[in-house]
Chain A
Amino acid sequence: MTRIGAPFLTVLILATGLSLLMTPSGLMTRASAAMQEDDADGIDRIVLRNGRVIEGKILSETDSVVEILVIVGGISAPTTYPRSEVLSIERNVETDTTIPAPASTTKSDSRAETATPRNSNSPDGKRVYVMNLKGDLGRDVTVTPLQRAFDDAISYEPEVIIVKMDCGSAAEGFDGMWTAEDLGPIIEKVIDDGWRVVFWIKRAQAGAAFLPLVSPEIIFMSDGRLGGVGDLSDFNIGDEVVNLKQISLRIGHAEGFAITGGYDPRLIRAMALEEEWLAVKIVGGQPQYITWEPRPEDGEGWTILTDDGKGKNKDKFSFDGNDVLTLNADWARRLNVADAVVDLLDDLIFELNIGRDYTIVEGRADKILSDWSDRIERAIDQFQRLQRDFQEAGQGSASMGRRINILKQMRGLLSANAEVLDPNGAQRAQIDIQIEQLRQQIRRANQRDR
């Protein structure tokens, strides 16, 4: 896959020496300016001995170091590499002719680039591993099954791991993000280790909307949706200033997802907050954003993605309005969140430039995930049955032993499924107290009997 501007982006290079220029069209970094001037000549590429490839514009070279100007998220910085680390230098490499967008409008492939790409060289061609994430994050998809699913995927050394996503989150709305934060590092690690992970979005709703953003590659289905996190403006803990704090820190966390995968963090605010304006203009294939209602001096061609949701701007139907942003396939593609829109796996693989010589791996990920989901469902049913049994066991001293026994079974269930049912152990602690209470009652009864 070729991505506009992506060759300039690596994640390590936000060093000091930031230099900013103002241009008629707004802020532009020194790097962006340099890149534009030199676009016709292509870029320079440094291959390091550890396998990393750094692309940008070489500023200077000595016998001991090479200084290269690189850019990430619209911010540029010169970075110096010792000659001893450099395996080779390619100059004026041909690239896409599109000019990188100004600050923070370009999707970064930083994660993919910093990792050393791995290849599957199986006799039956390149391996493609597909896993289905279904249900709710935090219940059907949690750390244990997701880790196992990716472990299985990696064991096949696939060319690409496709994560087909039709998910919401157990916690509704924006706060489902906290679950996604537990899961994100698993996928980040896989990508950092050099595996290509592509999210294929059918539904990424509530907390699940954040998870795909850790990957630099997202594909949408034609009816795909990513969003459903626009309830943050309703946050109310009883104090206006504390509300602002809580909203601010949540946005800070969520922007981290976007930055990790190389997406514009401004999209997060538009997805989360009703009062945020976001308008876009596509220039040279790249989205440019403003975060206010377009004014005459901003020029023509702006499309309002979200308005302030006030007065006449208030949506009548929240699921189909523009108070908050929910990405559909069309906008996901136009905003460079999605690399393509496809409905069939064959088409997806074509879009990923895998070639015709590939094999779909019959891995265990789907079974791992569905087994987990079934197990949790069974555990919940069983727990509820035990609760009924406990209530029906009666209050008399004769039933105390039986009630203790039921409590122990409930505790065992919670322990076995702690990741979903009792993550911090609080419920088990409560059960332990109840057991102790019953034991003491038995002891007292025995003393009375003596």
Chain B
Amino acid sequence: MTRIATIVIALLATLALPFTSLADKVYLKDGRVVEGTISREGDGFIYVTYMVGQLERTEFILRVNIDRIERDKDTTETPAESPKETPAAPTNAKPSSSPKTPRPSTDLPPGTRKIAFVTLEEMVGPFMNAEALRKSIQLLEDDKPDIVVLQINSGGGALFEVQKLSDAIEHGIKPKYRVVAWVESAISAAAMTAFTCEEIYMMPEGNIGAATAFSQSGGRATAMKGESLEQLLRSQEKITRRGKHDPLVMRAMQVPTNLSCDIDDAGRVTWRNDLGGQYIVSTDKQILTLNSIDSVKYGLARSVAASKDDLARAMGCTEWVEIGLDADKYQQDFREAVQTAQVRAGELWQKMNIALDTGNAGRARSFLGQLRGLVRRAPSLETYGAGGLPPLTPEFFREVESQIDEIAKKQSGGRR
């Protein structure tokens, strides 16, 4: 969706266009249909004016985001600048930037900020994955965004991925773009990741915290303890400092800790690891998770934003345009591929074993090939496995293949 959410209305007032009919339909690539009057057009953009109640509203739309336009005269056109492009499918290959449409940056009104939204969702590790994030960021290179918004909605996951995600943000994104975390839910490893960002904004329903590390076996959990925990606390402290947040806050999210703070008249928050402050934020009988209001109150987040418009405004962007849809599409496709793999991998593995049990090596190889296909589409399986299987590395596949060969050899020998 491309939108400048602000001032274009003022321009319109001077154009004094007739709004007697709402006949033009603009079909956007994100599925929205904007119905109104195309009130102004340029090489790379259009303005559509429509009524919201008694008020006129005008929306600025880049042609690259338009699928087709149906005019009043019942003609349908596809924008010349908008060749149909299929977002890069997630593969191990480096994403190609060549088929991307040139951005009509010269058509943008002066001062317009280009914002890319990249969603990071589901389990940290297999789904919310550093390598996948790097690929999304590569896809942004031609767009040259001013701001990259990492839209986080994750209940946590693999600790192993946190440092990699933090490094991807710190070294891969921050040097090029202003980075913002926009949190719907950042629990555990996702919270740890979000702390890399200096600028955190919350959705109204947002939450951030509960970053206690634990392992689980047979339905029973065990919190991390001893030297492993100390190491984790130290490494997370470094990540927290990357985002210029107070490590005491993250610590209270990781282990039961007394935490209070004072807030001065200017709104500056001073944290203390005892209960002597003006506000008791957490105690040694709690693990801290902050809701959106408290995140802002205690200075972890800068503001609450319910929509992209709200967020842009909160970030100080009066005029903005969304770019880099394919970077997020990559994330969506990636997650879908991992999701499929989570269900299918175990099934294929069991089917392969059934085929081997019944002496059908050819069929077993076929299932193994399908399993390989899943990994090609969801490369994070190489690290995290799926469906109860260990990491699905090339070595794993080689090993299994040689075992199939061996079994096949024995079986054919037995038959002779």
Give A contacts to B, CB under 8 Å: 11-12, 14-21, 49-51, 72-75, 77, 82, 84-85, 87, 103-104, 110-111, 114, 116-119, 184, 192, 194, 237-242, 244-249, 251-253, 255-257, 259-260, 265, 424-426, 429-430, 432-433, 436-437, 440-441, 443-444
Chain B residue nearest to A428 in the complex (CB): B343
Do residues B291 and A239 form an inter-chain contact, with CB atoms below 8 A? no
CB neighbours of B211 from chain A (8 A): 245
Do residues A252 and B212 form an inter-chain contact, with CB atoms below 8 A? no
- Top 10 nearest A-B pairs (CB, nearest first) are A256-B205, A252-B207, A252-B289, A249-B210, A245-B212, A238-B220, A241-B223, A84-B10, A440-B358, A18-B267
Q: How many A-B residue pairs have CB under 8 A?
A: 193
Show 9 A/B contacts (Cβ-Cβ < 8 Å), sorted by A: A51-B55, A51-B57, A84-B10, A116-B52, A244-B212, A248-B286, A249-B155, A251-B289, A424-B342
Do residues B205 and A259 form an inter-chain contact, with CB atoms below 8 A? yes
Not counting A239-B214, A252-B187, a sample of 8 additional A-B residue pairs whose C-beta atoms are within 8 angstroms of each other reads A18-B267, A50-B57, A245-B188, A252-B291, A265-B293, A433-B347, A436-B350, A436-B354
Q: How far is the CA of A255 from the CA of B360 in the complex (A)?
A: 55
Tell which of B6, B188, B204, B255 has the most Cβ of chain A within 10 Å. B204
Contacts A242-B223, A259-B292; is A253 near B57 (CB within 8 Å)?
no
Do residues B204 and A238 form an inter-chain contact, with CB atoms below 8 A? no
Do residues A241 and B287 form an inter-chain contact, with CB atoms below 8 A? yes
Q: How far is the CA of A296 from the CA of B132 in the complex (A)?
A: 58
Q: How far is the CA of A306 from the CA of B346 in the complex (A)?
A: 47
CB neighbours of B347 from chain A (8 A): 429-430, 432-433
Contacts A51-B57, A237-B220, A440-B360; is A82 near B303 (CB within 8 Å)?
no
Q: Any chain A CB within 8 A of the CB of B232?
A: no
Binds A, one of B18-26, B306-314, B371-379: B306-314
Q: How far is the CA of A426 from the CA of B303 in the complex (A)?
A: 40
Q: How far is the CA of A443 from the CA of B267 in the complex (A)?
A: 75
Do residues A248 and B296 form an inter-chain contact, with CB atoms below 8 A? no
Contacts A49-B57, A119-B53, A260-B205; is A241 near B357 (CB within 8 Å)?
no
Q: How far is the CA of A437 from the CA of B304 in the complex (A)?
A: 54
| Complex partner residue of A256 from B6, B265, B287, B291, CB under 8 angstroms | B291
CB neighbours of A257 from chain B (8 A): 205
Q: How far is the CA of A367 from the CA of B79 in the complex (A)?
A: 43
CB neighbours of A265 from chain B (8 A): 291, 293
| Complex partner residue of A11 from B310, B344, B346, CB under 8 angstroms | B310
CB neighbours of A259 from chain B (8 A): 204-205, 291-293
Do residues B351 and A432 form an inter-chain contact, with CB atoms below 8 A? yes
Do residues A433 and B351 form an inter-chain contact, with CB atoms below 8 A? yes
Do residues B255 and A241 form an inter-chain contact, with CB atoms below 8 A? yes
Q: Any chain A CB within 8 A of the CB of B412?
A: no
CB neighbours of B310 from chain A (8 A): 11-12
Do residues A116 and B53 form an inter-chain contact, with CB atoms below 8 A? yes
| Complex partner residue of B207 from A20, A256, A430, CB under 8 angstroms | A256
Contacts A12-B314, A15-B314, A256-B207; is A85 near B7 (CB within 8 Å)?
yes
| Complex partner residue of A440 from B6, B287, B357, CB under 8 angstroms | B357
Tell which of B187, B205, B206 has the most Cβ of chain A within 10 Å. B205
CB neighbours of A432 from chain B (8 A): 347, 351
Q: How far is the CA of A121 from the CA of B207 in the complex (A)?
A: 40
Do residues A440 and B207 form an inter-chain contact, with CB atoms below 8 A? no
Chain B residue nearest to A21 in the complex (CB): B265
Q: What are the interface flags for B203-236 relative to A under an 8 Å C-beta threshold, 1 for contact and 0 otherwise? A: 0111111111010100111110000000000000
Do residues A19 and B267 form an inter-chain contact, with CB atoms below 8 A? yes
Q: How many residues of B contact A (CB 8 A)?
A: 70
The binding surface of chain B is classed by DSSP as mixed
Contacts A82-B7, A82-B318, A252-B290; is A117 near B354 (CB within 8 Å)?
no
Contacts A260-B205, A433-B351; is A255 near B291 (CB within 8 Å)?
yes
CB neighbours of A16 from chain B (8 A): 267, 302-303
Do residues A49 and B212 form an inter-chain contact, with CB atoms below 8 A? no
Q: How far is the CA of A85 from the CA of B52 in the complex (A)?
A: 15
| Complex partner residue of A49 from B56, B188, B304, B305, CB under 8 angstroms | B56
Do residues A248 and B267 form an inter-chain contact, with CB atoms below 8 A? no
Q: Any chain A CB within 8 A of the CB of B9?
A: yes
CB neighbours of B342 from chain A (8 A): 424
| Complex partner residue of B358 from A15, A85, A443, CB under 8 angstroms | A443
Do residues A84 and B9 form an inter-chain contact, with CB atoms below 8 A? yes
Chain A residue nearest to B7 in the complex (CB): A84
CB neighbours of A18 from chain B (8 A): 267, 296-297
Do residues B6 and A11 form an inter-chain contact, with CB atoms below 8 A? no
CB neighbours of A104 from chain B (8 A): 293
CB neighbours of B305 from chain A (8 A): 12
Do residues A253 and B207 form an inter-chain contact, with CB atoms below 8 A? yes
Q: What are the interface flags for B256-299 relative to A under an 8 Å C-beta threshold, 1 for contact and 0 otherwise? A: 10000001011100000000000000000111111111001100
Do residues A75 and B296 form an inter-chain contact, with CB atoms below 8 A? yes
Tell which of A15, A245, A425 has the most Cβ of chain B within 10 Å. A245
Q: How far is the CA of A425 from the CA of B341 in the complex (A)?
A: 11
Q: How far is the CA of A18 from the CA of B204 in the complex (A)?
A: 17
Q: How far is the CA of A14 from the CA of B315 in the complex (A)?
A: 11
Q: Any chain A CB within 8 A of the CB of B355?
A: yes
Contacts A18-B267, A84-B7; is A242 near B53 (CB within 8 Å)?
no
CB neighbours of B119 from chain A (8 A): none
Do residues A249 and B188 form an inter-chain contact, with CB atoms below 8 A? yes
CB neighbours of A82 from chain B (8 A): 6-7, 318
Q: How far is the CA of A317 from the CA of B289 in the complex (A)?
A: 31
Do residues B223 and A433 form an inter-chain contact, with CB atoms below 8 A? no
Smallest beta-carbon distance A14→chain B, Å: 4
Q: Any chain A CB within 8 A of the CB of B5?
A: yes
Contacts A114-B306, A253-B185; is A242 near B210 (CB within 8 Å)?
no
CB neighbours of B318 from chain A (8 A): 82
Q: What are the interface flags for B335-376 relative to A under an 8 Å C-beta threshold, 1 for contact and 0 otherwise? A: 000000011101100110011011110000000000000000
CB neighbours of A77 from chain B (8 A): 303
Chain A residue nearest to B350 in the complex (CB): A433
CB neighbours of A429 from chain B (8 A): 343-344, 346-347
CB neighbours of A17 from chain B (8 A): 267
Chain A residue nearest to B357 in the complex (CB): A440
Q: How far is the CA of A50 from the CA of B12 in the complex (A)?
A: 13
Contacts A84-B7, A114-B306, A440-B354; is A248 near B220 (CB within 8 Å)?
no
